[in-house]
Chain A
């Protein structure tokens, strides 16, 4: 099984340790992982800003980088969602269709493809889970609270396999962090207030670490944590599953 690792642009720039953790975790689980060196971005920042046409060349580059892979794995629900759902504007060649179908968020890949039931990881902290909108409502990595039906969560399924990790309950388990990409710039006040409210919920319930499948949400929350000097830190799911303490 040829796994292509896609590291989102902002993770490459700001959180390289998350990319390293993802690679180490996949290799630990026996995957042959390739990292196409020409990769850049999934194109989401341009498309979300209304410049979808300008993103097309980036989309095509993504497809040509990864079309030979059996699965394209990325530590980002948001990027996976973008490739799967917004590459519909490309001509649907077999390569495009294949890449769209086979681009998975890390937690989906671990749960649905590798079907991981036991992980060798320990994390003795109280952890609050932030569920990103794209992951939860876009990729349906879990049941959102507004929907009626059986509760499930791929990310929680993985976190429950980590020794000594205590998952804290939140008042609002699936509210948005307020980041929203360029929304954070165009609507800075609302964006920051939403982030502050999220952090208050985690603090109220004694979380020491906030984790998520999307580093973009965590980047936004971390900005507020730093400014307000809150006793919290953020870690991507991959870092926890990889056993980092």
Chain B
């Protein structure tokens, strides 16, 4: 079923729709209250946005580094508990179905 059809069914119950709307707006207001109490909010947000962009742009490199370090730390003389925690090779999400 398409989103628009499901939405039509959902919205047919208007009191319930309004309840959801109010609940979400309540969260939004709490967010605004918190954000407006931090004067440097926008510069922090911009910085966070840059970190996110950088991370996404270099994600493959970070994942490979993470995998190599994780393998390094789990090899060598280990107790059985740590061996059980040995990491799987990082898989492409499309391979996950075979697990």
Q: Which residues of A contact B (CB under 8 A)?
A: 145-149, 172, 186-190, 193, 197
Contact = CB atoms under 8 A, between A and B. Distances in A.
Interface string B35-54: 11011011000000000000
A150 to B, nearest CB: 11
Given A149-B42, A186-B4, 14 more contacts: A145-B32, A146-B32, A147-B42, A148-B35, A148-B39, A148-B42, A172-B25, A187-B4, A187-B7, A188-B8, A189-B4, A189-B8, A190-B11, A197-B21
Nearest to A193: B11
Q: How large is the interface on B (under 10, 10 to 19, 20 to 34, 35 or more residues)?
A: 10 to 19
Contacts of A188: 4, 8
Interface string B65-88: 000000000000000000000000
Contacts of A149: 42
B17 A193 contact: yes
Nearest to B9: A189
Of listed A148, A186, A190, residue having the most chain B CB within 10 A? A148
B91 interface: no
A187 B3 contact: yes
A104 to B, nearest CB: 25
Nearest to A149: B42
B86 to A, nearest CB: 45
Of listed A145, A186, A187, A193, residue having the most chain B CB within 10 A? A193
A148 B38 contact: yes
16 contacts: A146-B28, A146-B32, A146-B35, A148-B35, A148-B38, A148-B39, A148-B41, A148-B42, A186-B4, A187-B3, A187-B7, A188-B4, A189-B7, A189-B8, A190-B11, A193-B11
B65 to A, nearest CB: 35
A40 to B, nearest CB: 30
A188 B38 CA distance: 39
A148 B11 CA distance: 33
Contacts of B4: 186-190
A188 B32 CA distance: 29
Interface string B1-24: 001100110010010010001000
B68 to A, nearest CB: 41
Contacts of B36: 148
Contacts of B39: 148
Nearest to B6: A189
A214 to B, nearest CB: 23
